Chains A and B, each alone.
Chain A
Amino acid sequence: MNLNLSAELEQLVLNHKIQTLYNDYVLALDQDNLDNWLSCFSESCVYRIVSRENFELDLPIAVWHSDSKAMLRDRVLALRDSTLYRPRYFRHLISGIKINQSSGDVIHSETNVLIAETVIDYKTQILLSGRYVDEIVLEEGHFKFKKRVCIYDSTLLPTSLVYPI
């Protein structure tokens, strides 16, 4: 057995850093800290929530489509200041992180996600199940999402998808 420890250690450190970004992301959403959520994205970024149906049919419409960080900030502002919704909690579960080949400065990775939503006074329900398909870059010493696409399996979303996921 010829262990190439330096390469393996490098991979472990990379896995750990990606895992940390993923954890920070879901923690921000579960704690309703949208500033921390925004800080998970790089300055130039794309964030989309798209149905598996549209993804597989190669149709461009997304439930949420932001192609700049300013657009993300606008949506956060609207959510805080203008949208009517019943108060609720979220719990994101991620599993099976898979880091694919990185090309140049971009790391491609993906993970499964299951989100439980508790609209206060109602039973907890599964909001959606799906996967995140990501492009991650190093920006000012931190890994950030340059692109995050959530592709959800659910063919019917429950009443409203209020928050980013």
Chain B
Amino acid sequence: MSQSIHKLSRTPSDYRWPEEGATRVPYWVYTDDEIYRREQEKIFGGATWNYVALEAEIPNPGDFIKTSIGDRPVIVVRDKDGTINVIANSCAHRGVAFCKEARGNASSFTCPYHQWNYDLKGNLVGIPFRRGYKKQGGMPDDFDLTKHSVRTLKAHTRNGVIFASFDHTVEPFEEYIGSNMLHYFDRVFDGRELKVLGYERQSIDCNWKLMFENIKDPYHASVLHVFLMTFGLFRMDQESAVEMDETGRHSALISRRAGQATADAAQEMKNNLRSDFTLEDPNLLDVVKEFPGNNSVVMLTLFPNIIVQQQSNTLAMRQIVTRSPGVFELHWTFFGYADDSEEMVNRRIRQANLMGPSGLVSVDDSEVLAMSQSGMFPYDNHQAILEMGGKEVKDTNHMITEVAIRGFYKHYVKVMGL
């Protein structure tokens, strides 16, 4: 018989967090089926606000779009009175994910299996043969339609962005996000009408948390991303900051664009900095300032499923959809504003070359994250070290830190009961 140590199931005492606290992350949080199941229940299914869609995607009554929270399929739909409902895409009868189309317009939803019919709030409004046929069959007299709605979620919209929670007792959205993160959120979502510019979707062979951590880790950007470093888009020698909400679950990586690297910085980055690399067509990085203040990059991670990307003029929602401990999907929704000039739209299209499944920058990430999973899975009794920038969890005004990942795990341990 083959020996497969890491395939043996763990007992409850095996799920003990290392004594060092948030400076250590056991690899089993990235590989274990039980942890994954618990995340679906306590994080994505718990008292969290999850990004689901932009209002611009469903402008008219009856417009709907399909998405997922964690791995649970949901439908985001604009009701006849304009309010937004988020309902489970799983029939109350036999669980069929009844909505097939990615998007569309509907006056009601009908499950194709047995034609159970729901209104746009998810209320069950009709079932065929409820009274049987010729006095035969049918549902029992005590069957109550009103008790068999599809599961509904609590929804909240802020400046065109829609969030939802499976837990109706979740704290108000604004409190959940916290005032400092809300300030960065409102910087991009300032109330102007948004316009979707396109979608990109990729399935990445790693645990979802590695993606979330990646955008909480400015340390890697100054060593891995040659392209960002070379063109001064995000680099250690720039004025920068890492800020969090009070719980540590949300964070913002903030940076100001700089020109050529200073001599000291260039020395530290010498292995990867390509000072001789210039663009033959500078249109790719024809960056213009479009937000108040001096920050040129703000990468916001809002727990648990959304990264708001503002890198120069490329804006995108990067939505995390989990599939298994070792696989997640990254759904990119690129957007701009309804009043963008044609020139600005073209700029956003060109700068989108940096991001997505084929991005000049983000390919580095998707590749290194898959390599992380390959190295963690077989060694899942080992643990990651997160001591760059110290052991504390507090805001910093530099990039050489892993503080926001520590903040994330400080919160994660609490939510997961580890």
Contacts and interface: CB of A to CB of B under 8 A. Distances in A.
Q: Do A and B come from one complex?
A: yes
A62 B202 contact: no
A128 B370 CA distance: 19
A156 B367 contact: no
A160 B352 contact: no
Given A59-B197, A60-B345, A61-B197, A49 B370 contact: no
B366 A160 contact: yes
Contacts of A77: 277
Nearest to A164: B358
A49 to B, nearest CB: 7
B192 interface: no
B331 to A, nearest CB: 9
Interface string A63-106: 11111101101110110011111100000000000000000000
A2 interface: no
B171 interface: no
A63 B366 CA distance: 14
A162 interface: yes
B274 A82 contact: yes
B358 A161 contact: yes
A75 B353 contact: yes
Interface string A31-46: 0000000000000000
B395 interface: no
A81 B230 CA distance: 11
Interface in B235-291: 272, 274, 277, 279-281, 283-284
B197 A63 contact: no
A64 B353 contact: yes
Contacts of B202: 156-161
Interface string B278-311: 0111011000000000000000000000000000
A78 B357 contact: no
A96 to B, nearest CB: 25
Contact of B363 (A53, A66, A158, A162): A162
Interface string B187-201: 000000000111111
Interface centre among A61, A78, A155, A158 (most CB of B within 10 A): A61
A14 B364 CA distance: 41
B358 A64 contact: yes
A60 B351 CA distance: 12
B416 interface: no
Nearest to B367: A85
Interface centre among A57, A64, A82 (most CB of B within 10 A): A82
A54 B198 CA distance: 6
Contact of B200 (A57, A63, A66, A83): A63
Contacts of B199: 51, 53-54, 59, 61
Given A61-B198, A158-B203, A82 B349 contact: no
Contact of A75 (B196, B349, B360): B360
A148 B334 CA distance: 22
A85 B360 CA distance: 11
Contact of B350 (A65, A70, A83, A159): A65
Contact of A61 (B205, B227, B334, B360): B334
A81 B226 contact: yes
B358 A160 contact: yes
Contact of A63 (B205, B277, B357): B357
Interface in A121-165: 155-162
Contacts of A73: 280
A36 to B, nearest CB: 19
Interface of B: 102, 196-205, 224, 226-227, 230, 272, 274, 277, 279-281, 283-284, 329, 334, 345, 348-350, 352-353, 356-358, 360, 363-364, 366-368, 370-371
Question: What 3 pairs between A and B have smallest CB-CB spacing?
Answer: A61-B198, A82-B226, A70-B281
7 contacts: A60-B198, A63-B356, A82-B227, A83-B364, A86-B367, A158-B202, A160-B357
Interface of A: 49, 51, 53-54, 57, 59-68, 70-71, 73-75, 77-78, 81-86, 155-162
Given A61-B348, A65-B350, A78-B227, 20 more contacts: A51-B200, A53-B199, A60-B349, A62-B349, A62-B352, A66-B353, A68-B281, A74-B280, A81-B226, A82-B360, A83-B226, A84-B368, A85-B367, A86-B367, A156-B201, A157-B200, A157-B203, A159-B202, A160-B366, A162-B367
